[in-house]
Amino acid sequence: MQTKPFRIGTRGSPLALAQAHETRTRLMAAHGLPEEMFEIVVLSTTGDRITDRSLSEIGGKGLFTQELEEQLQSGELDIAVHSSKDMPTKLPEGLHIAAYLPREDFRDAFIGRTASTLTALPDGAIVGTASLRRQALIRRLRPDIQLTIFRGSVGTRLRKLDEGQVDATLLAYAGLKRLSMEDVVTELLDPTDFPPAPAQGAICVESRIGDPRTDALIAPINDIPTYDAVSCERAFLAALDGSCRTPIGGFAICDGENLKFSGLILTPDGRREHAIEVEGKRADAEALGLRAGEAVRAAAGTDFFDSWN
Ligand SMILES: NCc1[nH]cc(CCC(=O)O)c1CC(=O)O
């Protein structure tokens, strides 16, 4: 029996900490180990330090994971816990996603101050969100709405809403639930007309490739339906060179041995879009996502993608 505590890396935001604690709780339960066997190591990332600009401006998703990944590679951490939707599609050399925890509800939540639903917002209302996907989806439904960039932690965003800086904001329902703040939600958006970000609502565990001690520890907490669904969604994103600059939505649902994926790409103004649905075996989850991404890319044509830049 080894005695050195197992080191779990996380960012320091309340949501990140909740996710790291959930991972530790599941590891303790799966192995019957005491809390002292797991040390939660909190790191500040570049993405956490820069809160006044949108992610796409400052360089994308990698900014939330880089510091954690460096410490994984050097062996200072055994695993890093992340929101899967913040993970770049390509991981650094030697690292992989070893497990996904059972997925939380992947829908986007609308939190309205002057109206309780997106469609009921007054003409010209102001909505705060930094997500290009949410901006494009809002423009698609409500071109009259004014958008303003909203970053920072969930708590910061809700405070700005309370102060009256905006009429409404949108957040992942999963994050609010993990923070026990779901009471603020005034509407849950239907994923068929407001698709979530690929991988939304799923916590992932990143580790070193070829680390048998860690693999053995992590394997029992992996949720296979989540693994399959999120692998499909991330493959869709990868096929489209998905980054923070590209409004892309999509979600996969497992049904027995099968999996159904719905994807959507749109222009930032929400005026043009291409949707796709594919269905197949869960065993082919990644190939299905890739195929969907390639099909939608071909259907959209290059001028569609040029309009993103
Ligand atoms: N980009 C920030 C981020 N990354 C993951 C979540 C929510 C939790 C999740 O999707 O698992 C959020 C906040 C939000 O979109 O409201």
Pick the atom of ligand 1 nearest to 202's CA.
Answer: 11
**How many residues in total does the chain contain?**
309
Domains 1-101+202-222 and 224-309 agree in fold: no
Q: How far is the CA of 19 from the centre of ligand 1 (A)?
A: 11
pTM over 0.90: yes
Buried b (16+ CB within 10 A) or exposed e, 256-276: eeebbbbbbbbbbebeebbeb
Its ipTM equals: 0.96
- How do 126-128 and 146-148 pair as beta strands? parallel
Q: What is the pLDDT along the chain (309 residues), one digit of tens a residue?
A: 557 899 999 999 999 999 999 999 999 999 999 999 999 999 987 777 776 666 666 666 677 788 999 999 999 999 999 999 999 999 999 999 999 999 999 999 999 999 999 999 999 999 999 899 999 999 999 999 999 998 888 889 999 999 999 999 999 999 999 999 999 999 999 999 999 999 999 999 999 999 999 999 999 999 999 999 999 999 999 999 755 577 999 999 999 999 999 999 999 999 999 999 999 999 999 999 999 999 999 999 888 887 666
Beta strands (DSSP E) in the chain are 6-11, 38-43, 79-83, 95-100, 108-112, 126-128, 146-148, 168-172, 187-188, 203-208, 248-255, 258-266, 273-281
Q: How far is the CA of 87 from the centre of ligand 1 (A)?
A: 11
Distance separating alpha carbons of residues 63 and 268, to the nearest angstrom:
22
Q: Which CATH architecture has domain 224-309?
A: 2-Layer Sandwich (3.30)
Class of domain 1-101+202-222 as given by CATH: alpha beta
Q: Where along the chain do its domains lie?
A: 1-101+202-222, 108-188, 224-309
CATH number for domain 108-188, candidates 3.30.465.10, 1.10.3720.10, 3.30.70.270, 3.40.190.10: 3.40.190.10
In this structure, the residues whose C-beta lies within 6 A of any atom of ligand 1 are 83, 85-86, 171-172, 174-175, 200-201
Residues 209-222 have pLDDT tens digits of 999 999 999 999 99
- Tell me, what DSSP letter sits at residue 28? H
